[in-house]
Amino acid sequence: MQRMRNKVAMALVLTFVLFMFTNGDLLAQDYKECVKLLNYQKYNEALKCSQDLQAKESGWYYPVYLEAKAYRGLNQKDDAVSSLKEAAELASGEDETFSVLYEFTHLYYSSWANKSDRKEAEKYCVQAKGVASKPEFQAKIFSICGKIYFKTEDWSAAERDLRRAYNTDKNNAGIAELLIKTLMKRNKNKDAIDLLKKAPKNANTYAMFAEVLIKDGDFKEAAKNTDACLKLDLRNKKCMILDADANIGLKNWDDAIKILQRYTVMFPGDWRGNDKLGEVYLYDKKYMNALSYLKVAVENTPLKECMPLVHYAEAWENKYVHGGKKSVDLDNALTAITGAEKRCPSNSKMLAVKARIIERIKDRDRGDIEIDCDKQPNHPECKKLAEAEGK
How many whole angstroms separate alpha carbon 137 and alpha carbon 101? 11
pLDDT of 109 higher than 90: yes
* Residue-level pLDDT at 56: 87
Q: Exposed/middle/buried for 204, CB within 10 Å: 0-12, 13-18, 19+? A: buried
How many whole angstroms separate alpha carbon 57 and alpha carbon 222? 59
Where does the pLDDT of residue 13 fall: very low under 50, low under 70, confident under 90, or very high at 90 and above? very low
- CA torsion angle 41 44 47 48 (round to 10): -130
* Residue-level pLDDT at 372: 64
- pLDDT tens digits, 246-261: 999 999 999 999 999 9
Q: Which of 222, 220, 164, 217 is nearest to 196 (CA)?
A: 222
- pLDDT tens digits, 314-335: 999 999 998 888 899 999 999 9
Threshold 0.75, pTM exceeds: no
Count of positions (residues) in the chain: 391
